[in-house]
């Protein structure tokens, strides 16, 4: 992983989620309404060797609802530092989703 400040790594990851993987605010509003983004981020942020869960358990039993299991497995199997970057980008996506919902639900 590149040696850059965390904020840059997270911003870069978020751009990749949008540009390379086709994630968007519209899709997140439609597909991630049950806390999937924050749930996924919290699981990825665990340091598995020291935590109470093993990576196999995270992959098998903690894939966020509606997410592709194969993609989840790839994310969960990344090194800890990379998982933190992905988790940060997922948190940013969740904030965007919340703000997007709030903005679209405001009545004039």
Q: Do 10 and 88 meet the contact criterion of CB atoms below 8 Å apart? A: yes
Distance of CA 98 to the CA centre of its chain: 14
**DSSP 8-class letter at 51:** S
Which residues, at least 6 apart from 78, have a Cβ–Cβ distance to it below 8 Å?
44, 86
pLDDT 10s digits, 32-45: 999 999 999 999 99
pLDDT 10s digits, 48-85: 665 555 777 777 888 999 999 899 989 988 999 999 99
Q: To the nearest whole percent, how much of the chain has pLDDT over 90?
A: 61
Structure tokens at 97: 């989703």
> What is the reported pLDDT for 108?
44
More confident residue, 95 or 56: 95
Q: Do 2 and 9 meet the contact criterion of CB atoms below 8 Å apart? A: yes
pTM of the model: 0.84
Average pLDDT over residues 19-46: 93
> What is the reported pLDDT for 17?
92
> What is the reported pLDDT for 101?
63
If phi over 0 gives left and psi between -120 and 50 gives alpha, with beta otherwise, what is residue 63?
beta
């Amino acid at each position: 992983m590149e040696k850059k400040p965390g904020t840059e790594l997270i911003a870069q990851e978020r751009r990749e989620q949008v540009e390379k993987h086709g994630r968007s605010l519209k899709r997140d509003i439609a597909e991630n309404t049950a806390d999937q983004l924050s749930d996924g981020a919290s699981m990825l942020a665990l340091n598995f060797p020291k935590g109470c869960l093993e990576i196999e358990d995270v992959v098998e039993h903690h894939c966020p609802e509606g997410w592709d299991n194969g993609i989840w497995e790839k994310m969960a199997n990344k090194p800890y530092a990379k998982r933190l970057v992905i988790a940060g980008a997922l948190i940013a996506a969740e904030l965007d989703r919340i703000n997007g919902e709030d903005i679209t639900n405001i009545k004039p």
